[in-house]
Amino acid sequence: MQYPEPIAKLIDSYLKLPGIGEKTATRLAFFTIDMQEDDVADFAQSLVAAKKDLHYCSICGNITESDPCIICADRQRDQTKVIVVEQPKDVMSLERMREYHGLYHVLHGVLSPMEGKGPEDINITGLVKRLQKNTDLKEVIIATNATPEGEATAMYISRLIKPAQIKVTRLAHGLAVGSDIEYADEMTLFKAIEGRQEI
């Protein structure tokens, strides 16, 4: 039995979202149909507004309503440090910590030869231009994910920046707080030993 066309289109729309399979898309479509009409209108309006009103900061590449974003516009932030992240959601995660008061740079991806993504496909050129303009910058902290692509991107950026005499660091990797050694994989243990600190 086929669904009526409006439901089928709604299911297809939900299927375009990452991590949503056929069953979840169907469940969400029927949930949407059961919602109050005002709630559906608000939901649709939120989708349109997010697409229309948000854009990327011309300085750091973070998602924002204003240009430059509030982080880049804040002169109280530490202008000597920049954390390089893969996606805007990574900025939000680091900001929730409330301990880092420097700047950010969003790459919008990582180097991935398998997917045909090279340096020109992510925001590396913007980072280089930024480093040339900002003479106060003393440290670039690379916070790409601990994946092969993230590691390759970190190494590429490090080699690119080192000649400019700017300190390049990488976020520590290893055992998570509260985890047991017996359940950690070999790479996690290797990174934990490699990144050990004196106490």
Please give the model's pTM, rounded to 2 decimal places: 0.82
Chain segment 101-148, per-residue pLDDT in tens:
999 999 999 999 889 999 999 999 999 999 888 888 999 999 999 888
Give the separation between CA 49 and CA 25, rounded to whole angstroms: 22
Confidence of residue 65 (pLDDT cuts 50, 70, 90): very high
Q: What percent of the chain has pLDDT over 90?
A: 73
Question: Of 104, 120, 132, which Cα lies nearest the Cα of 156?
Answer: 120
Q: What's residue 187's pLDDT?
A: 78
Tokens representing residue 172 in the block: 């520590």
Query: Is the CB of residue 139 less than 8 Å from the CB of residue 86?
Result: no
Q: What's residue 194's pLDDT?
A: 78
Confidence of residue 165 (pLDDT cuts 50, 70, 90): confident
Give the separation between CA 32 and CA 168, rounded to whole angstroms: 48
Least confident interval from 55-64, 72-81, 123-132, 170-179: 170-179
CATH number of 77-170: 3.40.1360.10
Based on the number of CB atoms within 10 Å of its own CB, is 184 exposed (0-12), middle (13-18) or buried (19 or more)?
middle
| Mean pLDDT taken over the chain | 91
- In the chain, domain spans: 5-53, 77-170
Give the separation between CA 164 and CA 134, rounded to whole angstroms: 12
Separation in Å, CA 29 to CA 3, 48, 49, 51, 81: 11, 18, 21, 21, 45
Query: Is the CB of residue 141 less than 8 Å from the CB of residue 96?
Result: no
Q: What's residue 126's pLDDT?
A: 93
CA atoms within 13 A on the CB side of 72: 19
Is 5-53 in CATH node 1.10.8.420?
yes
In the predicted structure, residue 42 carries a pLDDT above the cut 70: yes
Query: Is the CB of residue 63 less than 8 Å from the CB of residue 88?
Result: yes
**3-class SS shares of the chain: helix, strand, coil, % to 5:** 50, 10, 40
Q: What's residue 198's pLDDT?
A: 65
- Give the pLDDT mean for 65-90: 95
- Give the pLDDT mean for 61-84: 95
